[in-house]
Structure 1
Amino acid sequence: MEIKQGIQRFYMLDGNKEIGEVTFTEEHPLVLSINHTYVDPHYRGKHIAKQLIQAVVDLAVKEHKTIDPVCSYAKAWFQRNESAQAILYKKKP
């Protein structure tokens, strides 16, 4: 299985079959908003979504951007990973 980067998304392939994806938008030049995470039901429980979110985090770090986790999985991932909190986008009140 391998992770590929597309336009505003990362996806995982098992051979030629796409088995998961995470999509994001650039709401601001320095903010990536993760808006969707999906893993094929037959592949759930194998940490694929976790790897896809990590790919977005790695991209954000590389490009000196922050992340706004919009989808429920991304929100939960950031709550569980305190070391990634520093990269979260801080919304102004």
Structure 2
Amino acid sequence: MDWQYENGRIYSTDENGELMCEATFIRKENGEMDIDHTYVNPVLRGQGVAAQMMEVVAEYFRKEQLKTTATCSYANIWLKRHEKLYPDILSEDTSDQAVACKIDGKH
């Protein structure tokens, strides 16, 4: 994947510019991040792309020394499953974070 980084977004497109996968995140009032959305194009689902994308997001947060929670249900589960690999990016609020799927920009 050729990862693109924008403010609040990490994503990849194909050679035609079609969105293949995306993670979005927002800065909370306390300065920590919230991963609020993940997406994988249907043609790539079931191939481990979402997990690969979350590794890229986690490494980005590590490099930027950011703490995070996740209201996106997939991201929340992924963070909890990988808490031993990425303890430095996990917010203290991670275990108490309410989750909801974000569809069309709304929870």
Q: TM-score, normalised by structure 2?
A: 0.74
Runs of 4 or more consecutive aligned structure 1 residues displaced over 6 Å after TM superposition: none
Specify whether residues 56 and 28 from structure 1 end up closer, same or farther in structure 2 by C-alpha distance, changes over 3 A only.
farther
Report % sequence identity: 30
Ranges in structure 2 where 5+ consecutive residues have no aligned partner: 97-107
Deviation at 1:29, TM superposition (A): 6.0
Deviation at 1:4, TM superposition (A): 0.8
What RMSD in Å do the two structures reach over aligned CA positions? 1.9
Q: 2:100 aligns to what?
A: none
Q: Which has the higher strand share?
A: 1
Ranges in structure 1 where 5+ consecutive residues have no aligned partner: none
Q: 1:21 aligns to what?
A: 22
Q: Which has the higher helix share?
A: 1
| Number of matched pairs | 92
> 2-side partners of 1:28 and 1:10: how far apart?
21
The question of 1:90 aligning with 2:95 is answered: no
> 1-side partners of 2:46 and 2:2: how far apart?
16
Q: 1:59 aligns to what?
A: 60
The question of 1:4 aligning with 2:14 is answered: no
> 2-side partners of 1:79 and 1:89: how far apart?
11
Tell me, what secondary structure is at the counterpart of 1:2?
coil
Q: TM-score, normalised by structure 1?
A: 0.84
Note if contact 1:50-1:77 (Cα within 8 Å) is conserved in structure 2. Answer: yes
> 2-side partners of 1:36 and 1:10: how far apart?
11
Deviation at 1:51, TM superposition (A): 2.1
> 1-side partners of 2:9 and 2:24: how far apart?
4
Specify whether residues 59 and 28 from structure 1 end up closer, same or farther in structure 2 by C-alpha distance, changes over 3 A only.
farther
